[in-house]
Structure formats: structure tokens, C-alpha cells
């Protein structure tokens, strides 16, 4: 899960700190955590799940996502649309997660929370982990021990963290005025460049985009077929579009 603010000093965990956890289908809580929650979606999460489901990003957004602008910054906040009156994740099955290999960052982190940010006085991003308080989760009573670093590795989190933290360059950009929210047109740019890859690819190759935003031929070739290259272009484009 993402933390909205850094955990208190006493709750911060170092990469070498340990915790106990094991999740398996014999536990009474199996699947209970896949409901009734705000499950945030990062641009990279969306890319991975959309590819897993093999659907157009417009369809993915319409079927599986709820969206609202952050009241202060105006940046879009996306989360999985929980289904029915019991607010169940659309991807949960009696056997567990149907998109397990491409599950979002928050599900990989669980039962940990992670906060990342940039202190304006320092240039380097800082990250903090903490153990979430989840009364229903029996997995934390199991005896399997992990360090934070082992869990990050085991859950395949590194590529997710690398891509998710590209957002820090946008949120903590030196030209961003934190007291001004994005306009509607800026919000639309963020939505298309980061959260609607199929439409962004059309925008790149079927409009005058490439005459205004110069990229070399090799990058252009990669962006045509490689979703990660496309998302990386989305981040670069936004830095110019929002703060030029
Ligand atoms: S994406 Fe998978 S792991 Fe995450 S809440 Fe949904 S079913 Fe559970
Ligand atoms: S509540 Fe905890 S142990 Fe139970 S299924 Fe969810 S993550 Fe696993």
C-alpha cells in the first residue's frame, strides 16, 4: 500500500529490518483482503494489468477504474473499481488473484506500506517502509521471516518502484507551484500520457506530436512497440507540457 505521508520515526523500517508473514489458501482470511479497500493504480500497474487482460486502455479505464482529481494538487488518483455491494476486487477468484503475475504495486507491498518523496532541500528521493496494521490478516502470525529487502526482491517490486518513482520528478518538479492545482486541460494531459497508453500512442504517431517534441528515430521505433518506452516518453512529455 502507498502511504500518503511518511510513517512516524518509530515505525520506519530499514532494508535490513525483519517481519513475519506468509499468505496461503489455508488461512481463514484467504482473499478477505481483496475487498473493501482503496486500491491505488500507478501508471505502470495499469500498463501491466491492461497487457495481461489484452484490452484497449479506454476499455480498461471504463470497466475497472475509478478516478478523481486530488483536491489539492489536481493530479488524477486512480484506483481499482471494486464490484457489487461487498466491494470486491474484480480480479479475485476462489483460488486467489487472477492477475497475480501482474498484480498492482500495493498488492505486492502488502503487508508493508511504502512512502516516497523528495525533500526540496535535498535532491535525492527518500523512501520509507512500515508494517501496516491489518487486524484481519492472519499471515502476519505465520513464522516465515523476511527482511524488507528480501520482500521487495521476492515480490518483484524493483521494476515497479523504478517506474512509479518517475512520478516524483513530476510531483516535486522545481517549477511546480504546490499551492496551484492542475487545470482541467493539464489533468487531461496527465490522464492520456500516463494512464491511457493506447490513446497516447495514437497521439504520438497520428498527430503533429513528433514535429513539436523531438525524439530520435531509435526511441520513436521503441515507443511504437514497447509500452515501457511509451510510458517513459509520457513522463518526459509531461515535464515539458506542465512546466515548460
Ligand atoms: S489485484 Fe489481485 S491481489 Fe490485488 S486486491 Fe485484486 S485480487 Fe487481490
Ligand atoms: S489477509 Fe493477509 S494472509 Fe489473508 S489472504 Fe490477505 S494478505 Fe494473505
State the pLDDT at residue 126.
86
Question: Residue 175: inside a domain, yes or no?
Answer: no
Per DSSP, the residues of 118-161 read E-TTS-SEEEEEEE---TT--GGGS--EEEHHHHHHHTT-HHHH
State the pLDDT at residue 1.
52
> At residue 4, does pLDDT exceed 70?
no
| pLDDT digit string, tens, across residues 178-208 | 899 999 999 999 999 999 999 999 999 999 9
Q: Which three cell numbers stand for residue 6?
A: 511518511
* One domain for residues 111 and 223: no
* One domain for residues 35 and 113: yes
Q: Which three cell numbers stand for residue 31?
A: 482473499
* One domain for residues 145 and 224: no
Question: Residue 171: inside a domain, yes or no?
Answer: no
State the pLDDT at residue 7.
82
27 in contact with ligand 2, CB cutoff 6 A: yes
State the pLDDT at residue 123.
72
Q: Which ligand has an atom closest to residue 93 CA? A: 1
Question: Residue 79: inside a domain, yes or no?
Answer: yes
Rounded CA separation 206/209 (Å)? 8
Cβ contact 89:35 at 8 Å: yes
- Average pLDDT of the chain is 94
Report residue 2's pLDDT band, with 50, 70 and 90 as the boundaries.
Answer: low
H helices present in 76-178, as ranges = 105-109, 148-154, 158-164, 166-171
Rounded CA separation 73/65 (Å)? 20
Q: Which residue has 517490486 as its cell numbers? A: 157
> At residue 3, does pLDDT exceed 70?
no
Q: What is the mean pLDDT of residues 227-238?
A: 97
Using DSSP, state whether 66 is helix, strand or coil: strand
Those residues whose C-beta lies under 8 Å from the C-beta of residue 208, and which sit 6 or more positions away, are none
Q: What are phi and psi of 134, to 5 degrees?
A: -130, 90
Question: Residue 169: inside a domain, yes or no?
Answer: no
Q: Which ligand has an atom closest to residue 30 CA? A: 2
* One domain for residues 103 and 68: yes
- Cα 139 to middle of ligand 2, angstroms: 6
The minimum-distance atom of ligand 2 relative to the CA of 34 is 6
Cβ contact 1:106 at 8 Å: yes
Q: What is the largest CA-CA distance in the chain?
A: 58
Which residue's C-alpha comes closest to atom 8 of ligand 1?
A: 34
* One domain for residues 34 and 152: yes
Which residue's C-alpha comes closest to atom 2 of ligand 2?
A: 137
Q: Which ligand has an atom closest to residue 34 CA? A: 1
> At residue 241, does pLDDT exceed 90?
yes
> At residue 229, does pLDDT exceed 70?
yes
State the pLDDT at residue 119.
76
Sign of the torsion formed by the C-alpha atoms of 151, 153, 156 and 161: positive
Q: Which residue has 515539458 as its cell numbers? A: 240
* Secondary structure percentages of the chain, helix, strand, coil, to 5: 45, 15, 40
| pLDDT digit string, tens, across residues 81-94 | 999 888 999 999 99
| pLDDT digit string, tens, across residues 71-120 | 999 999 999 999 988 899 999 999 999 999 999 999 999 999 999 888 76
Those residues whose C-beta lies under 8 Å from the C-beta of residue 5, and which sit 6 or more positions away, are 115
Domain that holds residue 232: 184-243
> At residue 231, does pLDDT exceed 70?
yes
Q: How many domains does the chain have?
A: 2
Amino acid at each position: 500500500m502507498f502511504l500518503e505521508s511518511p510513517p512516524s520515526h518509530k515505525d520506519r523500517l530499514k532494508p535490513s529490518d525483519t517481519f513475519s508473514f506468509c499468505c496461503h489458501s489455508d488461512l481463514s482470511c484467504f482473499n478477505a483482503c481483496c475487498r473493501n479497500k482503496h486500491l491505488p493504480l500507478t501508471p505502470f500497474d495499469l500498463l501491466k494489468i491492461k497487457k495481461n487482460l489484452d484490452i484497449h486502455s479506454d476499455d480498461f479505464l471504463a470497466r475497472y477504474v475509478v478516478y478523481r482529481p486530488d483536491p489539492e494538487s489536481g493530479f488524477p488518483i486512480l484506483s481499482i473499481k471494486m464490484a457489487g455491494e461487498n466491494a470486491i476486487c474484480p480480479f479475485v477468484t476462489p483460488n486467489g488473484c487472477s492477475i497475480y503475475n501482474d498484480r498492482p504495486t500495493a498488492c505486492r507491498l502488502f503487508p508493508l506500506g511504502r512512502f516516497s518523496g523528495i525533500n526540496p532541500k535535498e535532491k535525492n528521493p527518500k523512501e520509507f517502509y512500515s508494517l501496516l496494521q491489518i487486524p484481519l490478516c492472519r499471515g502476519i502470525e505465520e513464522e516465515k521471516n523476511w527482511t524488507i529487502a528480501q520482500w521487495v526482491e521476492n515480490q518483484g517490486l524493483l521494476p515497479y518502484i523504478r517506474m512509479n518513482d518517475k512520478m516524483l520528478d513530476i510531483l516535486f518538479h522545481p517549477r511546480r507551484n504546490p499551492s496551484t492545482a492542475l487545470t482541467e486541460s493539464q489533468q487531461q494531459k496527465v490522464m492520456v500520457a500516463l494512464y491511457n497508453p493506447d490513446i497516447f500512442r495514437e497521439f504520438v504517431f497520428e498527430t503533429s506530436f513528433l514535429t513539436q517534441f523531438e525524439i530520435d528515430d531509435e526511441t520513436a521505433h521503441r515507443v511504437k512497440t514497447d509500452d515501457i518506452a511509451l510510458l517513459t516518453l509520457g513522463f518526459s512529455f509531461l515535464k515539458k507540457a506542465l512546466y515548460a
